[in-house]
Amino acid sequence: MAASIAGVFTDDLKNAVETSKVLVVGAGGIGCEILKNLVLSGFKDIEIIDLDTIDVSNLNRQFLFQKQHVGKSKAVVARESALSFNPDVKIVANHDSIIKPDYSVNYFKQFRMVLNALDNRAARNHVNRMCLAADIPLIESGTAGYDGQVELIKKGMTKCYECEPKAAQKTFPGCTIRNTPSEPIHCIVWGKHLFNQLFGEYDADNDVSPDTEDPEAAGAAGESALKTKANEQGDIERVTTRQWAQQSGYDSAKLFHKLFHDDIKYLLSMHNLWEKRRKPTPLKMNELPDAVAGSSKDNSAEGLKDQRPWSIVECGQIFSRSLQSLKTKFEDLQSKNKDDHLVWDKDDKDAMDFVAACANIRAYIFGIPQKTRFDIKSMAGNIIPAIATTNAIIAGLVVLNAFNILQNRLESCHSVYCRLRPNHRGQLIVPERGLNPPNEKCYVCRDSPQIAVSVDVNKLTVKELEERVLKSLLNMVQPDAVKDSTGDVVISSEEGEMEGTYHKSLAEMGILDGTVLSVDDFVQNYSLQVIINHREAEHNKPDIEIVGDQSKCQPKAEEEKSNGGSGDNAEEEDDLMLLDEVEETPSAKAERKRKQDSAEESPVSKKLRTSDVIVL
Ligand SMILES: Nc1ncnc2c1ncn2[C@@H]1O[C@H](COP(=O)(O)OP(=O)(O)OP(=O)(O)O)[C@@H](O)[C@H]1O
Ligand SMILES: [Zn+2]
């Protein structure tokens, strides 16, 4: 071990390495490398935590794992493999989620530092808050393909993980997805929405039927088209897509006809939409073309299966087949628990086939180029392949920064960025000049943090305030909220306590424009004042926005971010990269939560991950 070789470290550093207790959060691509580096450097007291089990796809870069370990706990196997390098180290492995009340501020306080090797924002935000509360240094790291980044987070000294807003998931206007797609990604997003409408978590924002309120369709024209159709066919819009599908017994031909013929004809009746656009062509299932550009009937021998273009007739068959398999799985789930639903997963064959087939059929209708299943999988799953070398470089830099911390040289822990191409100085690995001081308006790390949120108080319910604002947007885990002026409890983390009021609107609870809520998250040791601003909901505008004084905390456009939004004293702008992943979809989040909740009882299976993710 390096520390035991004379002359490698100074005596002080050797001593610190051998006696300091460190926590590694995540035993994936970067975590395995960090653990190996720590053990080989001579650290003797390490704790590692990961909620996941080993997947075969991890083996190409997570070198503490081998084939025989597939299905086993990452943390446990990482520990065993690292011990084989040096059995004389104490390593505690936890197969668990770090976002649990068990890992309290006191738990964090026992460590000299925390090294993050995570793949999602929720967990990163949480560890950030815990390290701020415990006032211990955190080394945050991440990679995305060839890009990588390491930074120190220390209360009062540097920016925290949440000082700069991360770019929000790039979303597309609902009317583009529902009415006027023009790129393959629009059709893929529509396919994923359709999956959720039929089998997944219900989300009113993910509607797939024609949008009659599209301002471009001149509202009234859309509505009058709707009325005509409603009169002709009964009041079709009153039932959800899922109800409609259920009533039709998930009949492939009927569903196909509605989605790819009737709905398209209906879109055509919104004439304004097509004045300057190519009109879509309604399709009938029994008249599908058996060849499309770049594809032919007998191309089965070419290339990898996933990379072979499908003809439209083939898409129709795959649509029917996958629909029936998903229907069976869905009904099976529902027979056990009627509230259960499927979760879209790029690695689930039927779910992926369904989205790929739907996306290509819709693309064909709108004259948009088709994509292979392989391309659709990476676009729908937001994947950037992980690269072992980048992980190794980043993990090396993490441990070098750990040495700086042990020598109390925090000011030397500059952020470092790994780039795909050398900058004009020929650097691939680019350090910043100094530390980035905290954002004094940060709603997480400044003293007495505040944030203003703009919502329609007549529409937003207390439940939505909890789930969508406090938990999803502001990343709390178990928030309690009281009205500042009266001390009335609005949201309680005690189960069942406020159930009767959760469906009420904020206005019904007396939360109006200007109301200040004091919100506490006991799990994160975090308090925040939330100022409610009332704003009437408008079509196609986000119904929740972070506003006002917190302008710096609002998500910036993706282009701005990737040009280097953060890091005031960076060497140069384009050295700064955004390595964060998109927010998870509600369904992926639900799945992660489910995983986290069940991590203790059962080894969890691997699902959609966001580390290797770019903004859609
Ligand atoms: N809340 C959490 N608590 C503990 N570990 C977590 C938590 N969230 C994520 N992780 C772990 O962080 C690790 C991140 O590693 P990595 O980015 O290599 O992801 P991966 O899942 O191993 O690989 P990939 O996403 O590329 O398939 C994963 O092993 C993941 O299980
Ligand atoms: Zn901050």
CATH number, position 350: 1.10.10.520
* Chain segment 300-351, per-residue pLDDT in tens: 545 577 788 899 999 999 999 999 999 999 999 999 988 899 999 888 999 9
Total domains, the chain: 3
Confidence class for position 207, pLDDT limits 50, 70, 90: confident
Q: Looking at the structure, tell me whether residues 414 and 516 fall in a common domain.
A: no
Among all ligands shown, which has an atom nearest to the Cα of 24?
1
Q: Looking at the structure, tell me whether residues 355 and 273 fall in a common domain.
A: yes
Among all ligands shown, which has an atom nearest to the Cα of 99?
1
Task: Report the range of poorest mean pLDDT among 185-199, 383-397, 433-447, 597-611.
Answer: 597-611
* Chain segment 85-118, per-residue pLDDT in tens: 999 999 999 999 999 999 999 999 999 999 999 9
Q: Looking at the structure, tell me whether residues 316 and 261 fall in a common domain.
A: yes
In a domain, 609, yes or no: no
Counting residues of the chain whose pLDDT is more than 70, the rounded percentage is 81
Angstrom CA distances, 215 to 322, 407, 418, 574, stand at: 35, 61, 44, 38
Residues of each annotated binding site: 26-31, 50, 58-61, 74, 97-98, 119-124, 160, 163, 442, 445
Query: Considering the entire predicted model, what is its pTM?
Result: 0.70
In a domain, 608, yes or no: no
Q: Looking at the structure, tell me whether residues 407 and 271 fall in a common domain.
A: no
Identify each DSSP E strand in 52-176 by its residue range: 90-95, 113-116, 138-144, 147-153
Is residue 255 pLDDT above 60, yes or no? yes
Is residue 270 pLDDT above 50, yes or no? yes
Span 10-26, average pLDDT: 97
pLDDT at 546: 80
The two tokens of residue 29 are: 């691509």
In a domain, 218, yes or no: yes
119, 523, 589: residue to mutate for ligand 1 pocket, most atoms within 8 A of CB: 119
Domain that holds residue 49: 2-166+385-431
Of 356, 352, 286, 304, which is closest to residue 325 (Cα–Cα)? 352
Which domain CATH number covers 492?
A: 3.10.290.20
Question: 27 alpha carbon to ligand 1 midpoint, in Å?
Answer: 7
Q: Looking at the structure, tell me whether residues 466 and 373 fall in a common domain.
A: no
Q: Which one-letter DSSP state was computed for residue 99?
A: S
Question: 577 alpha carbon to ligand 2 midpoint, in Å?
Answer: 18
Active site residue 32: no
Is residue 227 pLDDT above 50, yes or no? yes
- Give the position, in ligand 1's atom list, of the atom nearest the Cα of 29: 18
Q: Looking at the structure, tell me whether residues 207 and 253 fall in a common domain.
A: yes
Question: 475 alpha carbon to ligand 2 midpoint, in Å?
Answer: 13
Residues of each annotated binding site for Zn(2+): 160, 163, 442, 445
Task: Report the range of poorest mean pLDDT among 130-144, 164-178, 569-583.
Answer: 569-583
Rank 125-139, 236-250, 600-614 by mean pLDDT and report only the highest: 125-139
Q: Looking at the structure, tell me whether residues 243 and 268 fall in a common domain.
A: yes
Which domain CATH number covers 122?
A: 3.40.50.720
592/229: higher pLDDT: 229
Span 593-603, average pLDDT: 38
* Chain segment 39-48, per-residue pLDDT in tens: 999 999 999 9
Counting residues of the chain whose pLDDT is more than 90, the rounded percentage is 62
Instruction: Name the residue with the closest Cα to ligand 1, atom 25.
Output: 609
pLDDT at 224: 53
Ligand 1 binding pocket (C-beta < 6 A) is 25-29, 31, 49-52, 57-58, 74, 97-99, 118-120, 123, 386, 596, 609, 611-612
Confidence class for position 64, pLDDT limits 50, 70, 90: very high
pLDDT at 308: 84
In a domain, 358, yes or no: yes
- Give the position, in ligand 1's atom list, of the atom nearest the Cα of 391: 18
pLDDT at 583: 36
* Chain segment 471-502, per-residue pLDDT in tens: 988 999 999 999 988 999 999 988 777 778 88
In a domain, 352, yes or no: yes
In a domain, 457, yes or no: yes
Among all ligands shown, which has an atom nearest to the Cα of 440?
2
Is residue 593 pLDDT above 60, yes or no? no
Is residue 68 pLDDT above 80, yes or no? yes
pLDDT at 217: 65
Question: 139 alpha carbon to ligand 2 midpoint, in Å?
Answer: 15
Q: Looking at the structure, tell me whether residues 131 and 212 fall in a common domain.
A: no
- Give the position, in ligand 1's atom list, of the atom nearest the Cα of 27: 29
In a domain, 136, yes or no: yes
Instruction: Name the residue with the closest Cα to ligand 1, atom 31.
Output: 52
Q: Looking at the structure, tell me whether residues 189 and 112 fall in a common domain.
A: no
Task: Report the range of poorest mean pLDDT among 195-204, 244-253, 264-273, 447-456.
Answer: 195-204
Instruction: Name the residue with the closest Cα to ligand 1, atom 22.
Output: 28
Residues of each annotated binding site for ATP: 26-31, 50, 58-61, 74, 97-98, 119-124
The domain boundary residue, chosen from 515, 547, 579:
547
Question: 118 alpha carbon to ligand 2 midpoint, in Å?
Answer: 19
Rounded distance between C-alpha atoms, residue 244 and residue 230, angstroms: 14
* DSSP of 493-540: SSTTTTGGGTTSBTGGGT--TT-EEEEEETTTTEEEEEEEEE----TT
50, 121, 384: residue to mutate for ligand 1 pocket, most atoms within 8 A of CB: 50
Question: 268 alpha carbon to ligand 1 midpoint, in Å?
Answer: 46
- Give the position, in ligand 1's atom list, of the atom nearest the Cα of 610: 25
The two tokens of residue 146 are: 């060839």
Of 314, 359, 354, which is closest to residue 181 (Cα–Cα)? 359
Beta-ladder partners of 22: 46, 113
Single out the catalytic residue among 175, 187, 358, 418. 175
* Chain segment 149-173, per-residue pLDDT in tens: 999 999 999 999 999 877 766 667 7
pLDDT at 215: 67
Rounded distance between C-alpha atoms, residue 428 and residue 555, angstroms: 28
Identify each DSSP E strand in 51-163 by its residue range: 90-95, 113-116, 138-144, 147-153
Q: Looking at the structure, tell me whether residues 406 and 495 fall in a common domain.
A: no
Residues 6 or more apart whose Cβ sits within 8 Å of residue 63? 32, 33, 36, 388
Instruction: Name the residue with the closest Cα to ligand 1, atom 15.
Output: 28
What is this model's ipTM? Answer: 0.97
Confidence class for position 561, pLDDT limits 50, 70, 90: very low
47/559: higher pLDDT: 47
The domain boundary residue, chosen from 547, 571, 591:
547
In a domain, 9, yes or no: yes
Q: Looking at the structure, tell me whether residues 154 and 49 fall in a common domain.
A: yes
Among all ligands shown, which has an atom nearest to the Cα of 163?
2
Q: Looking at the structure, tell me whether residues 155 and 216 fall in a common domain.
A: no
Question: 151 alpha carbon to ligand 1 midpoint, in Å?
Answer: 19
